[in-house]
Amino acid sequence: MRMSFDIDVGKRLGEAEIGVTFQSGPGITALFGPSGVGKTSLLNMVAGLLHPDRGHIRVAGETLFGEGADCPPERRRAGYVFQDGRLFPHMNVRSNLRYGMQEGGWMGFDEAVGFLGIASLLGRWPRTLSGGEAQRVAIGRALLSNPRFLLMDEPLASLDSARADEIMGVIERIRDELGLPVLYVSHNRAEVHRLATTVIEMRR
Amino acid sequence: MSPDDWQVVRLSLLVGIVAVAAALPFAFALAYALARGRFPGRVLLDAIVHLPLVLPPVVTGWLLLLAFGRQGAIGAWAEKWLGLTFMFRWTGAALAAAVMALPLMVRAMRLSIEAVDRRLEGAARTLGAGPWRTFLTITLPLSLPGVAAGLVLGFARAIGEFGATISFVSNIPGETRTLPLAIYTALQIPGEEQAVLRLALISVALSLGALVACELLARRMGRHAHVL
Amino acid sequence: MDSCLGGNDGLGQVGYSLSMRRLFLFFALLLTWPALAAPPLVLAAASLQESLNDAANAWAAKGHARPVLSFAASSALARQVESGAPADLFVSADEPWMDELAGKGLIRPATRVSFLGNSLVLVAPAAAAHPVAIRPGFPLARLLGNGRLAMGEPNSVPAGKYGRDALTRLGVWASVADHVAGAENVRAALALVERGEAPYGIVYLTDALASKGVKVVGTFPATSHAPITYPLATLTSATSPETEGFRRFLLSAQAKAIFRRYGFATR
């Protein structure tokens, strides 16, 4: 079984020290733990937005950090879905979706739009979207950047249960149909139970 | 308005526009460095940028004379290698205006750059944008309201500039006699109150026009952004 | 209780009236103090700075309160007076500004005296100074080359007006008018020549003597321009009792000697 995520990192953040070591296979790897334990920091390290003090990060066979390597974020091909969406406010939905698109991506624009059900939102501005709509666009944007793996940071946290259910359906489809490794952060047991293939528990 | 008045207005507009255009890249670079940079001497740089705001304009003009006059270190070099003279010319007036406008421009732009959510830049990086593309597509567009504000303030300051201009390049009609200098000249002559009033009204109209134009521009650009 | 009230009534009333009187005296003194002891406020043209300071020191050395001196361009000072500035004496660098105030009834005509004179000179940087004969048609344009002639702004600064008049009467103005660098005041023009930014300048003799960086290379004949005189007058807004005393002192032999040392001509 090829390792999807092979992570062993340590970092000092202010007063606290984060140390995480795990390996996991295909499907959704859930990072589960209470708030403030460092789950988002770990995602940021895998994405290349935060530098570990030591260790290595290997995803789907490629070394992103460690052993002399330190890949900049733009070359790691991580599809990162942020907790707050982080859609670019000065671009409409279509421009947001297309921001990371390149020639020859494995998922076409119309395909992604259909997959997420966001065709009606294309001309809208991020400011005018509901929480659920914004989150779907964020997922679409990440998928369209031709990623090799996905990072999802509590994508359902700011949604009501109906929306959350909707998005969970989308994520299940990503897990089952697209075959991308996914590192999924949550502090919600029910979510993790439903979605995760592997669960990594983080404690203080 | 008389032909003389037109000459003064044209010169003021030329000096104002050139001053702000020339100062823009420096102002933005300084604003960016001060907003994002972490280097030793940052506080000192901040202080130096603000000097023209706090020094008496006559002193600033005198310093410009020392540095950019034909005998000055930079002035002599500029004349020899760039064919550029500042002394007694509108280029000198533009330089004085640019120096006086720079701190205001830097302040406005810096505030705006600091307000750009760096997490958005992080998001762009994960989507495959390198630092330069991130800057051009995320940082710069989001800080444009501040750039626009800086341009307005800079222009208003530039066309109102007096003290440093007259101490540096003197009062030469057609070359350095901008609106403020023309008003001052008229004030010096007994009985010229009409001219003073006329020129002052033109000055107010210009400044108001600049402010309104830039406000409209900023609103169109940023949809809901505004500079005032 | 009764004794308290009674005590207050009796002593209290006397005390009240005594302190009221003291208060009144205090305020009376406060209001009239300025007039009693205030030295004169003199508004004077900038070119008189060093010499007038010396004269004021000499006056103070005689035991009087030292006059307060305010130096600026004659035009600025005149406008201050027109706006109601409470000064005592005004010394202008030319007659028109004094005429302006006289016309508005702001000076006491009997006190007006043109008590100092000056000459107009051509200066060059001290390091490159060669004598220039100033006479009708002298080749100033050629001497300037593509440099500028630094002088007070010819329309508005008195020294500039005199300079333009002189050059016009000598038939030279047309050839140099486009090469003039009009400075805000004579000192600024001097600075330009000192720094070598302008090869020649037209300033007052008194200014040239005050600067080590320039040399006088020629003197404009007195006939080429209107007499450069400095009128002095008492303002109608004068309140200081020392005003007339200081004014007379400025006209005295002792003060004249001070002014002559700086290069002024005295009557």
Residues from chain A contacting residue B146 (CB–CB below 8 Å)? none
Amino acid type, A84: D
pLDDT for residue C4: 30
Amino acid type, A79: G
List the chains bordering chain B where 3 or more Cβ pairs fall under 8 Å: A, C
* pLDDT tens-place string over residues C197-244: 999 999 999 989 988 999 999 999 999 998 999 999 999 989 999 999
Spacing of C-alpha C86 from chain mean position: 16
Choose among C73, C188, C192: nearest Cβ to B188: C73
Average pLDDT value for residue range B2-28? 93
CB contact under 8 A, B190 and C183: no
- Tell me which chain B residue has its CA closest to the CA of residue A46: B126
Interface test with C, best of B88, B89, B165, B187 (most C CBs within 10 A): B88
Residues from chain A contacting residue B124 (CB–CB below 8 Å)? 88, 99
List the one residue out of A76, A107, A74, A112 whose CA is nearest residue A94.
A112
Residues from chain C contacting residue B167 (CB–CB below 8 Å)? 184, 188
Q: How large a percentage of chain C has pLDDT more than 70?
A: 90
ipTM of this predicted structure: 0.90
* pLDDT tens-place string over residues A40-85: 999 999 999 999 999 999 998 889 998 888 999 999 999 999 988 8
3-state SS, residue C162 = helix
CB contact under 8 A, C150 and B66: no
Residues from chain B contacting residue C73 (CB–CB below 8 Å)? 188
For A16, the token pair is 């606290």
Show the low-confidence residues of chain C (pLDDT under 50).
Answer: 1-12
Cα dihedral: B45, B57, C47, B178 (round 10): 140
Question: Which residues of C fall below an 8 Å CB-CB distance to B?
Answer: 73, 75, 78-79, 96-97, 100, 148, 150, 153, 155-157, 180-184, 188-189, 191-192, 195-197
Interface test with C, best of B188, B192, B193, B196 (most C CBs within 10 A): B188
Q: How far apart are CA B100 and CA A51, in angstroms?
A: 42
- Touch between chain A and chain C (3+ CB pairs, < 8 Å)? no
Residues from chain B contacting residue A141 (CB–CB below 8 Å)? 127
pTM of the shown model = 0.77
* Helices C95-103 and C74-82, packing angle to 10 deg: 10
List the one residue out of C127, C205, C221 whose CA is nearest residue C172.
C221
Residue B121 contacts A, CB cutoff 8 Å: no
